[in-house]
Amino acid sequence: ESYIEVYTGGAHGGQSLIYECYDIATGQAYDFGYLMDGEWCDALRQLIYERIVDMYGDEQLIATAKDIYIPRSVKLTDSGLLLVYQPYEIASFDAGILSVELSDEELAALGVPLLWI
């Protein structure tokens, strides 16, 4: 986990919360980008979008269900994946850092291969 906060002038500073996950057996970093490559992609986008709207509302969103993607910052949790979106990625700066947790069971129900298990 890395939290970065900077101010270089202007109206406000910037902040980021970055997670990087590694396979303990191989030392290789997980690349969760594959989650947007399969036949489950549209259903996964819709699930993420609905979860974001349920948690944060849609007033400040700048993304639609078709625009949602797997962010670079993903954390493995005891129950699944925590997706972390930085300011301006899918919502206005005022929304801050948004995160959505998806359980392994939810992902498996969509047909997503759980490569981290």
Give the number of C-alpha atoms closer than 13 A to the C-alpha of residue 104, restricted to the C-beta side: 11
- Of all residues in the chain, what percent carry a pLDDT higher than 70? 100
State the pLDDT at residue 5: 92
Instruction: State yes or no: pLDDT of 1 exceeds 90.
Output: yes
Residues contacting residue 36 through CB under 8 Å, at least 6 positions apart? 44, 45, 69, 70
| Length, in residues, of the chain | 117
- Is 90 exceeded by the pLDDT of residue 13? no
Average confidence (pLDDT) over 81-103: 94
Q: Which pair of tokens denotes residue 34?
A: 């594959």
**Average pLDDT in the 44-72 region?**
94
Whole-number pLDDT of residue 44: 96
Residue 3 bridge partners (DSSP):
17
Q: Does residue 117 register a pLDDT over 90?
A: no
Contact status, residue 24 vs residue 70, Cβ threshold 8 Å: no
